[in-house]
Amino acid sequence: AQTVTQSQPEMSVQEAETVTLSCTYDTSESDYYLFWYKQPPSRQMILVIRQEAYKQQNATENRFSVNFQKAAKSFSLKISDSQLGDAAMYFCAYMDTSGTYKYIFGTGTRLKVLA
């Protein structure tokens, strides 16, 4: 069975600095998607970034980028120039594309941004 592990329950970063959130996963599939979702205090879940496993190029979205290491089954999120609005819970997620398209979520990392 697939699993997603976020080993950092909580992280802190100084405003304007860079922080990296870790995620590892386990799967025997070769084709899948990986995601980072953000959950601010408003509790609305918002997609931050997506990576298709067949793509070697790391995804980027403005200040957010990922380091996707398929062989190591690692998918970390880098937030550059951290802003107060980045403070939130971040969830790593895996979706299999073999037919069921079910998601597996990690347990989350709470990011605090210090002014």
Name which position in 19, 66, 87, 106 contacts other proteins (CB under 8 A): 106
Distance of CA 1 to CAs 32, 67, 94, 108, Å?
A: 14, 23, 12, 19
Q: Looking at 29, 31, 62, 102, which residue binds other proteins (CB under 8 A)?
A: 102
At closest approach, how far in Å is the CB of 16 from other proteins? 29
Pairing of strands 103-105, 88-96: antiparallel
**DSSP E strands, 1-115:** 3-5, 10-14, 19-21, 24-26, 32-39, 46-52, 60-61, 64-69, 74-79, 88-96, 103-105, 109-114
> How many other C-beta atoms can be found within 10 angstroms of the C-beta atom of residue 5?
13
Residue 11 contacts other proteins per CB under 8 A: no
The yes or no reply on residue 90 touching other proteins (CB under 8 A) is no
The verdict on 101 binding other proteins (CB under 8 A) reads yes
Task: Give least dist CB 76 to other proteins, A.
Answer: 17
Give backbone dihedrals phi and psi of 71, rounded to 5 degrees, phi first: -65, -35
User: Residue 112 interacts with other proteins (CB under 8 A)?
Assistant: no
Ranges within 30-89 binding other proteins (CB under 8 A) = 33, 35, 37, 42-47, 50
Which residues here bind other proteins, judged by CB under 8 A? Answer: 4, 6, 9, 33, 35, 37, 42-47, 50, 91, 95, 97, 101-103, 105-108
